[in-house]
Amino acid sequence: GWGVELALPLAALALNASAAVAPPREGDVWRVDFSRVEWRVLPNATTGGYSKAPASPAEDNWVWAPIGEVAMHNPERWGIVEFGGELGEEEAPPPPPPPVRYPSWPARAAA
């Protein structure tokens, strides 16, 4: 497995957004997704680097909020991040959201 810790410049992320405010306020909701693409590679003795494995033409894709296809350009399918208060604040948890009933992925992609 692997893990990652990110420090994102929130002001830069909000630059081209119509409604985003940086820093985000408590209760603000942003859509976001994180993607990792991995090609199968082989060591390249000539360069000391790596080359794509010819027997593996496709890459592996992992995302934080799966969108049903390799299409990261669809922000309406990204995950939702809701910003909270300061760390350590004691708050009652919000009530659970109502169940979301999305049509199946093929129907959602139809237009």
- Interval 27-86: pLDDT, tens: 888 888 888 889 899 999 999 999 889 888 788 888 888 888 888 888 888 888 888 877
Q: Which residue has the higher pLDDT, 16 or 40?
A: 40
Alpha-carbon distance of 22 to 101, in angstroms, equals 31
Q: Which residue has the higher pLDDT, 88 or 50?
A: 50
Alpha-carbon distance of 70 to 100, in angstroms, equals 22
Cross-strand bridge partners of residue 38: 60
pTM surpassing 0.75?
no
Residue 14 has pLDDT above 90, yes or no: no
Amino acid occupying residue 50: Y
